Chain A
Amino acid sequence: MSDTNKMAVAESVSDRRFGEPIMEMKNITMRFGGVIAIQDISFDILQGEIRAIIGPNGAGKSSMLNVINGFYHPQEGEIWFGGEKRSPMKPYQIAYQGIARTFQNIALFKGMSTLDNIMTGRFTHMKTNIFSQVLWRGAAEKEEHENREIVEKVIDFLEIQSIRKTEVGKLPYGLQKRVELGRALAAEPKLLLLDEPMAGMNVEEKEDMSRFILDVNDEFGTTVALIEHDMGVVMDIADRVVVMDYGKKIGDDTPENILKNQAVIDAYLGVAND
C-alpha cells in the first residue's frame, strides 16, 4: 500500500472502539495422537475488531480455526461464543450460530456457478419446508428472490457481476478466492474466519482483498479473524495479533508491539533488511 493509504488506515485503526469479546478461547489443547497441535492457548476476539493469527508453518493456526469451526474438538479447554460457553457442536450447527469461513485451499462447490455458490451461503437464512419447495410458486419462490437480492448485493460489493453465471471451477484462482469470500459474507456472519485469504495473490489482488476485508468490517461491523503470512497486510489491517509457534502462543498484542516482541522476532519475523 502507498504511504498515504497506510496513514489513513493507521488513523482509523487507533480510533476504533471495540465491544465485548465475541469469542474467547480458554486453555485450548488439541492433540492428534502423539502430536500436540495446540498447547494451552487462550486468547479472545473482540466484537468489531480484525484479529490476525500469525506464525510459522505448522504452528497450529489452521487447526485453531478448525477448532473454532467445530471440525476439531479440543481435548481440553473451553470455547465461549457471544458470552456463553459452547458445548461440543457439529460444524453445521456452528454455522447457524453465525460463524462463516474461507479455506486455505478454496472450498468452493466446483460444479456450481458463482451465483449458486454464494446463494449456498444463505442456507442458514432460508427456512421454507419441503412441501413449499416442491410447489415452488409461492413461499419458496418468494424466499428465493429475497435471498437472491442479498446475494446480488454481495456480488456488487465484491465487483464480480461479470462472472455471476460462470462455473467456479473455470475461474482463475484470485476470483475463486473472491467468490469464496462472497459465500462467507452472504451468510451475514457475526464472526468471519479467513484462512490465508491472500495466499497466492499478487500485490494488486492483495490490495483489493484488504480493501474488501476492511470494508466488511467497517460497513457491516463484522468481526474478522484471519490467518495471514504477509506482515505488511497484518500491519495494515489488523487491530490485534496472536502469534503462534509450535502450538504455543508467543505473542498477543497490537501489530506495532508484536514487531518489537523478541520471542516473535526469533521465531518468525527475523530482522528486516533495509
Chain B
Amino acid sequence: MFYREAGDFKTSYKSDQQTFPLKLDKILFWLTMAIAAFVIPFFLNEYWEKAIFLPFFIYALAAIGLNILTGYCGQVSLGTGGFMAVGAYASFKLMTGFPAMDMFLVIMIAGLVTAGVGVLFGLPSLRIKGFYLAVATLASQFFLVWLFNKWEWTYNYSATGQINSPERDFLGIVVTGAYTKPWATYLFCLGFLFLFAWIARNLVRGRIGRSWMAIRDMDIAAEIIGVNPLVAKMSAFAISSFFVGVAGALYFSVWLGAAEPTEAFSIDQSFDVLFMIIIGGLGSILGSLIGAAFIVLLPVLFKNVFVGLLGIPTDIAEFSQIILVGALIVFFLIKEPHGIVAYWRTLKGKLRLWPFPY
C-alpha cells in the first residue's frame, strides 16, 4: 500500500538506473543521512563514538573494498588485514614525515600506496584462481605483518615497535591524537564512508563493474566480449586495496591511535572482513554495510547483554560468539549465499505488494 510502485513508471534510462528506484527508498535514505550527519553528532558521547560508530564506518569501508574484489570480481582474498596495515603504516609515515599535511590528503595518499601494493600482490591472480588464490593471498597477509614487525623504518625505529598517531587536523579541526572531539572523528569517518560508497556505486553500475562481474561469472566468456583479464583483475585489486588502505589508515590514525602489527592486522581481521561480506551479501554495497554492522555490533551485544545483564563469564561469551559467527557463515552459505541483503530484498519485494500476497 505504501511501498508502491504501481504507476511509478520509468520513462528514461536515467530514472531506470537510479540507485533508489522507489521514491520511498530515496526519501528514507536521505532522511537517514540527514539524521546521521546533522542530528547524531550533537548527542554523541565517546563510548558510542569509539565503540560503535567509528568501527562501523571503518569496517564498512573495508568491507566495500573487499566486496569489490571478492563479491564483484570473484577474487577471494584473505589478505585484508595485511593491506589495512599498509594503509595504516603509510598514514603513519606521512603524518610523522609531513606534519603540516591535512589528514584528508594523508588518508588518500595512504590509500594510493595500498593500491600499488595491492596490484603487486594481485599479480598472481592472473595465473591462479579460486581457493588457490585465497591461499596465495595468505602469503601477502603473513609477509606484510612480518614486514611491519621487522622493517624498522616503518615504525620510525621506535623501541616498542608500536606506532602512535600524532595529533593532526582536517581543515583545522583536530581528528587524530588524544584530544579529538567525538563529533569531529565521527563526521570525518562518515564523510569518507559516504564518499567511497558513492564512488563504489558508480563503478559497479558501469562498464568497469560489468567487466569485474564478467570475470567473476565466467572469465573465458569475459575475454570473448573484449575484457582484458589483466586490466579487469588488476583494477579490481587496485581499487579494492585503495578502499582497504583508506580503512586501515582511518583504523589506526583516527580510531585506535596506536597499533602493533601482529595484533591489529592479524589474519583474524582478514577473516572478520570476509565474514562481513558473506553474511551481509556478496556483490552488494548495502550488504557490505549490513555485514559490517553485524560483525561490529555482535561483540558489543554479547558484552552488554550476556556478560553485563546475564552475568555469564567473559570467556564463555567469547567462545559463544565464535561459535555463532562460524555457524552463521555456514548457515548463510547453505541457505542464502547472497547474504542478509537477499532477505532484505525479498522483504522489500513483499512490502511492495502488501497487503497482497503476490
Chain A interface main SS type: helix
Contacts of A140 in B (CB 8 A): 202, 206-207
Contacts of B283 in A (CB 8 A): 111
Contact code string A98-137 (vs B, CB < 8 Å = 1, else 0): 0011010001111110001001110110101010011110
Task: Tell yes or no: B32 within 8 A of A by CB.
Answer: no
Contact: B218 with A96, CB < 8 Å?
no
Contacts of A92 in B (CB 8 A): 223-229
Cβ-closest chain A residue relative to B74: A111
Complex CA–CA separation, A71 to B219 (angstroms): 12
Contacts of B203 in A (CB 8 A): 130, 133-134
Contact: A120 with B214, CB < 8 Å?
yes
Query: Which residues of chain B (283-321) have a CB below 8 Å from chain A?
Result: 283
Contacts of A22 in B (CB 8 A): none
Contact: A95 with B224, CB < 8 Å?
yes
Query: Which residues of chain B (173-224) have a CB below 8 Å from chain A?
Result: 199, 202-203, 205-208, 210-211, 213-214, 216-218, 220-224
Task: Tell yes or no: B14 within 8 A of A by CB.
Answer: yes
A96-B226 contact, Cβ under 8 Å, with A140-B202, A145-B13: yes
Contacts of A133 in B (CB 8 A): 202-203, 206-208
Contact: A91 with B217, CB < 8 Å?
no
Task: Tell yes or no: A183 within 8 A of B by CB.
Answer: yes
Complex CA–CA separation, A144 to B217 (angstroms): 21
Task: Tell yes or no: A69 within 8 A of B by CB.
Answer: yes
Contacts of B17 in A (CB 8 A): 144
Q: Which of B202, B203, B211, B216 has the most CB of A within 10 A?
A: B202
Nearest CB of A to B335, in Å: 17
Task: Tell yes or no: B70 within 8 A of A by CB.
Answer: no
Complex CA–CA separation, A202 to B206 (angstroms): 37
Contact: B224 with A130, CB < 8 Å?
no
Task: Tell yes or no: A31 within 8 A of B by CB.
Answer: no
Contact: B218 with A109, CB < 8 Å?
yes
Complex CA–CA separation, A100 to B224 (angstroms): 7
Nearest CB of B to A37, in Å: 18
Contact: A107 with B208, CB < 8 Å?
no
Cβ-closest chain A residue relative to B208: A133
A141 partner, pick from B14, B199, B223, beta carbons under 8 A: B14
Cβ-closest chain B residue relative to A115: B16
Contacts of A121 in B (CB 8 A): 225
Nearest CB of A to B274, in Å: 19
Nearest CB of A to B191, in Å: 17
Contact: A145 with B217, CB < 8 Å?
no
Contact: B225 with A187, CB < 8 Å?
yes
Q: Which of B211, B217, B283 has the most CB of A within 10 A?
A: B217
Task: Tell yes or no: A229 within 8 A of B by CB.
Answer: no
Contacts of A211 in B (CB 8 A): none
Contacts of A119 in B (CB 8 A): 210
B217 partner, pick from A111, A128, A148, A183, beta carbons under 8 A: A111
A134-B199 contact, Cβ under 8 Å, with A95-B224, A107-B220, A123-B225: yes
Task: Tell yes or no: B75 within 8 A of A by CB.
Answer: no
Nearest CB of B to A148, in Å: 5
Contact: A124 with B217, CB < 8 Å?
no
Task: Tell yes or no: B140 within 8 A of A by CB.
Answer: no
A123-B223 contact, Cβ under 8 Å, with A111-B217, A130-B235, A134-B199: no
Task: Tell yes or no: A90 within 8 A of B by CB.
Answer: yes
Query: Which residues of chain B (50-85) have a CB below 8 Å from chain A?
Result: none
Contact: B225 with A134, CB < 8 Å?
no
Contact: A91 with B213, CB < 8 Å?
no
Complex CA–CA separation, A92 to B223 (angstroms): 5
Contacts of A135 in B (CB 8 A): 202
Nearest CB of A to B169, in Å: 27
A123-B210 contact, Cβ under 8 Å, with A133-B203, A148-B13: yes
Contact: A124 with B206, CB < 8 Å?
no
Complex CA–CA separation, A95 to B223 (angstroms): 8
Query: Which residues of chain B (3-26) have a CB below 8 Å from chain A?
Result: 13-14, 17
Nearest CB of B to A196, in Å: 16
Complex CA–CA separation, A141 to B283 (angstroms): 21
B223 partner, pick from A91, A100, A128, beta carbons under 8 A: A91
A124-B225 contact, Cβ under 8 Å, with A133-B203, A133-B208, A135-B202: yes
Contact: A111 with B216, CB < 8 Å?
yes
Contact: B225 with A144, CB < 8 Å?
no
Contacts of A109 in B (CB 8 A): 213-214, 217-218, 221-222
A136 partner, pick from B202, B226, B235, beta carbons under 8 A: B202
Complex CA–CA separation, A135 to B198 (angstroms): 9
Complex CA–CA separation, A160 to B228 (angstroms): 29
Complex CA–CA separation, A100 to B222 (angstroms): 12
Contacts of B208 in A (CB 8 A): 130, 133
Contact: A144 with B226, CB < 8 Å?
no
Contact: B213 with A111, CB < 8 Å?
yes
Contact: A112 with B213, CB < 8 Å?
yes
B207 partner, pick from A126, A149, A183, beta carbons under 8 A: A126
Given contacts A107-B220, A123-B214, A187-B226, 11 further A-B pairs with CB under 8 A are A95-B224, A101-B224, A110-B217, A112-B213, A123-B226, A124-B225, A130-B235, A134-B199, A136-B205, A144-B206, A148-B13
A sample of 5 cross-chain residue pairs with beta-carbon separation below 8 angstroms, ordered by A number, consists of: A95-B223, A107-B221, A116-B210, A144-B17, A145-B14
Give the 6 A-B residue pairs with the shortest CB-CB distance, closest first.
A95-B226, A107-B221, A109-B217, A136-B202, A124-B226, A91-B223
Interface residues of B, Cβ cutoff 8 Å to A: 13-14, 17, 199, 202-203, 205-208, 210-211, 213-214, 216-218, 220-229, 235, 283
